[in-house]
Structure 1
């Protein structure tokens, strides 16, 4: 039987479009020709492409900085550097910024090479146009495993930037890093990592990585926890509950379980709540989809922990939050059964998940696919 499909809010559809947008900027006629070539490549890859010819000043870049995922300048690197300098905030939120000379000889990632994906985009454009990708990040130059790239491409929350930097530094010095996963591991483990059978054995290494559902191991400060972003939060509420109250309720339950907000990849509820301001605003703030289901769709889920006759009489199904969480997670397992408080209900469900080293580790022979 085909699984039911959720409804998504208009704001969520707009957000997904925004995440797939790229901005191209050129300053000369020759640059415009190259920009049109790049536009075609990116559009065929599924992106929405915006383009600007000879923009005046730098105000345009501040306007687009948080509205696009990638920015490609066709022209001199110095122009791009001067324009983007006032906009730079954080490697985990800034867009990928690249420069391509108008002759098409070199494509250079300038910002967010790993987390933002600028290195990958540079390689893609280089392969497609015959240009040379000029990659300068240390792990790529040395052909080594990059934990931030691995976390991003495998859908993992990187919980500690300092520990991630220390791991990268140790790998560049040739040290081995311990690796433990609570989840199934697919593909070949990179040579820089030494797999162990239990988290306790990570104590044998000066630095280590633990892929786990919940942080909070007692093995010292040398272990970097990577947490899968595989949770769906099924929520319900009385009409008019403010976004802040819903957020505090959700964060409090997550923290009590040793989970973090970054692990929640979608919010789900019944279709009657599709326009509930607090829920819509919460999804928008967290930049996650907000999906809703009809009572009939929710009723296809039978494995719930309890029913409310009052709720069933009111909305047509007796346990909205658990059913919404399970449907949103593709039939996942409940991590948190229905809990209620101050006119709100919440359940959490986790999708099946595995560590997949074949998704992407770094760009070198035998280390994984990009």
Structure 2
């Protein structure tokens, strides 16, 4: 995650340092301090709102060590929808409380607040009704299991029924752990959750379709290829096979392409993580792959895209290699297991 930490006072500056020590190992944490209380390891701001505006589109989370009102006014002009907004968290100047303000479920603010409270010996103040009451949350379940929420209105109705002690139906084409008490696979329910790839399947009058984000793209490309060429090749494969680009979890390739500018730019453009593997690792992958003598002589493996997709996914190849203008693309599907106890990974 790209996390921006803002502080206003001297106490806040010191807390922001502790926040980066806690989170900096796994995330990119940038500190922004008011000009009267700063240090050599932070950026300086005079107007918080202007700085937030410059960072808003490229930040996954904002942590404000200041009064809640100051933080709310800083982010308010830039807010969109709960599906798109970054996580927003407020900490008081003494570091006693950690309060998720926006995007508690989908954006991960609630989970991030729990991590901060544990690491900083603070109290997380979770105000979302399902979490504060220890109830099932469709948003949290989806976020923790890499599921795409296709209908926020239906998700809201389900959350309301949970709070009203109404049973929620559940249907899935994937294996799962034991259901929480709020869900049932039997009986007639007004609202329910359907996990699968077919969003037209509506087993309940109000159905929340959750689609797994479990597609791995294996990509091979010639040197100097552009991000646009890669994007065109990928979109061609996805369109031909009726795969929504939102389902892509990761891109995989050979390690000699880890710094390929066009491929890196493509991944950055769409926010895809890229995993790379050595030729030796790829050649150990078992399966029925297309083999190219030229690719083997050039890279040390007979197939980059198919082998890397399967290795990264730990699953099966669902679309074999398709070559387009110097780019090869294959698609694999990561196995899905739904765990109702799983916490969101930040």
How would you bin the TM-score normalised by the shorter chain? Answer: 0.7 to 0.9
After superposing on structure 2, the runs of 4+ consecutive aligned residues of structure 1 that deviate more than 6 Å are: none
Q: Which runs of 5+ in 1 are unaligned?
A: 1-18, 362-368
| Bigger mean CA deviation after superposition, 248-257 or 230-239 | 248-257
Equivalent of 1:306 in 290, 300, 310? 290
Indicate the residue corresponding to 1:15 in structure 2. Answer: none
How many angstroms does 1:152 deviate by?
0.9
Task: Choose the corresponding residue for 1:228, options 192, 205, 212.
Answer: 212
CA displacement at 1:295 relative to structure 2:
3.7
Q: Secondary structure at the match of 1:65?
A: helix
Question: Hey, what's the Cα distance between the residues in 2 that align with 1:83 and 1:230?
Answer: 35
Q: Given the two structures, how large is their TM-score scaled by the length of structure 2? A: 0.82
Write the distance in 1 (CA, Å) between the matches of 2:332 and 2:175. 19
Unaligned runs of 5+ in 2: 35-44
| CA RMSD in angstroms, aligned pairs only | 3.2
Question: Residues 3-152 of structure 1 correspond to what in structure 2 (within 5 A)?
Answer: 19=1, 21-43=2-24, 46-54=26-34, 55-57=45-47, 58-129=49-120, 131-152=122-143
Instruction: Decide whether the 8 Å contact of 2:190 with 2:205 is kept in 1.
Output: no
CA separation in 2, counterparts of 1:39 and 1:237? 37
Tell me: CA distance 1:352–1:61, structure 2 relative to 1, closer, same or farther (3 Å): same
Matched residue, 2:38: none
Change (3 A) 1:215 1:239: farther
Alignment partner, residue 185 of structure 2:
195
How many residues of Structure 1 are paired with residues of Structure 2 in the alignment?
335
**Preserved CA contact (<8 Å) 1:214 1:259:** no
Aligned twin of 1:253: 237
* 2:216 partner SS: strand
Whether 1:207 and 2:191 are equivalent positions in the alignment is yes
Q: 2:320 aligns with which of 312, 315, 337?
A: 337
Structure 1 pair 162–314 and aligned structure 2 pair: CA distance change class (3 A) = same
Aligned partners of 1:341 and 1:75: how far apart in 2? 52
